[in-house]
Amino acid sequence: MLLIFATVRTWRAYRRASRRATALSAYVLAEATDLERLTVQLNEHGFALEHTAAELFPKLERLSLILGQPLVAATIPWLIRRALGRPYRRR
């Protein structure tokens, strides 16, 4: 009985972390798209940002892929709590 309960809780936690990771990844991708659009607009108006964009966008895409992993997204709040020495508070 305890094994079933633990399995269900683990599965629900995994699904929740997966949803959060997907949302975070989508947000980062949307922000990268907005930055790319702004860069193109600025380049049209005479600013030379090609070099910056060429370095920045691959890094943002890599970050988006890393944050898209459910275990990474679930671990980040835990690491922050441990680093700050604060216990987990439920809302």
Please report whether residue 27 resides in a domain: yes
- What pTM did the predictor assign? 0.45
Please report whether residue 91 resides in a domain: no
For residue 48, is pLDDT > 80?
Answer: no
| Dist. CA 56–CA 31, nearest whole Å | 12
pLDDT bucket at 63, cuts 50 / 70 / 90: confident
Please report whether residue 88 resides in a domain: no
The number of distinct structural domains making up the chain is 1
Please report whether residue 84 resides in a domain: no
Where in the sequence is the domain holding 44, given as residue range(s)?
2-74
Task: Please answer whether residues 28 and 60 qualify as being in contact, where contact means their C-beta atoms are separated by less than 8 angstroms.
Answer: yes
* Higher pLDDT, residue 19 or 55: 19
pLDDT bucket at 85, cuts 50 / 70 / 90: confident
**pLDDT over 70, % of the chain:** 86
Please report whether residue 39 resides in a domain: yes
Contacts of 49 (CB under 8 A, 6+ apart): 39, 42, 43
